[in-house]
């Protein structure tokens, strides 16, 4: 199980807790991404993939996979044009692109999906598609018990 939880006391999220939450988030994301790459390199993703969201042309938009830390999400790298970048946070661009601007790196997280509002999906053909986290959760419930490579685990988003 997860070894990077933060104890939140009765006083709630205090100023002291925030840096620990941030550090834990970074650790959690690093571990999830490392695990995804490990599975991919071992050609073992299919055995751990719960859902795969793709664009109509076949690009991977989002992988949902299982880890020892729980269900994880993986967003592949993608490129954004100047126009598409216009609404993005400059700080996010600086830290989450390889060129400081357009080439967004891949990322992963084991953040419990029920605590998320939305997963934003991107590829060369789909820009900022808003996938409500509740839809991911509902789809996970639908496919629970199906074999890992079942067709219902593949979702083409329009």
Q: Which positions lie near Zn ion, rule CB under 5 A?
A: 55, 57, 59, 123, 125
Q: How far is the CB of 22 from Zn ion (least distance, A)?
A: 32
Q: What share of the chain is helix, strand, coil (3-state, %, to 5)?
A: 35, 25, 40
For residues 136 and 53, give the distance between their C-alpha atoms in angstroms, rounded to a whole number: 10
Query: Regarding beta strands 60-67 and 103-104, do their DSSP bridges make them parallel or antiparallel, or are they unpaired?
Result: unpaired
Q: How far is the CB of 61 from Zn ion (least distance, A)?
A: 7
In the bound state with Zn ion, the residue whose beta carbon lies nearer, of 28 and 63, is 63
In the bound state with Zn ion, the residue whose beta carbon lies nearer, of 47 and 56, is 56
DSSP per residue, 35-95: HHHHHHHTT-GGGTEEEEEE-TT--EEEEEEEETTEEEEEE--EE--HHHHTTS-HHHHHH
In the bound state with Zn ion, the residue whose beta carbon lies nearer, of 64 and 123, is 123
In the bound state with Zn ion, the residue whose beta carbon lies nearer, of 111 and 127, is 127
Q: How far is the CB of 103 from Zn ion (least distance, A)?
A: 16
For residues 137 and 84, give the distance between their C-alpha atoms in angstroms, rounded to a whole number: 28
Query: Regarding beta strands 154-156 and 49-54, do their DSSP bridges make them parallel or antiparallel, or are they unpaired?
Result: parallel
Q: How far is the CB of 59 from Zn ion (least distance, A)?
A: 3
Q: How far is the CB of 55 from Zn ion (least distance, A)?
A: 3
In the bound state with Zn ion, the residue whose beta carbon lies nearer, of 35 and 64, is 64
**16 secondary structure, DSSP code:** T
């Amino acid at each position: 199980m997860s070894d990077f939880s933060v104890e939140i006391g009765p006083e709630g999220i205090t100023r002291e807790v925030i840096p620990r939450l941030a550090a834990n988030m970074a650790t959690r994301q690093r571990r999830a991404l490392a695990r995804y790459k490990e599975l991919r390199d071992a050609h073992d993703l299919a055995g751990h993939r719960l859902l795969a969201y793709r664009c109509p042309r076949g690009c991977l938009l989002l992988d949902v996979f299982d880890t020892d830390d729980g269900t994880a999400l993986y967003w592949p790298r993608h490129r954004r044009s100047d126009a598409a970048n216009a609404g993005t946070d400059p700080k996010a661009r600086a830290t989450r692109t390889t060129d400081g601007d357009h080439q967004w790196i891949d990322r992963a997280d084991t953040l419990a999906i029920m605590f998320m509002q939305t997963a934003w999906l991107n590829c060369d053909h789909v820009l900022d598609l808003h996938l409500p986290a509740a839809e991911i959760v509902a789809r996970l419930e639908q496919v629970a018990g199906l074999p890992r490579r079942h067709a219902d685990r593949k979702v083409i988003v329009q």
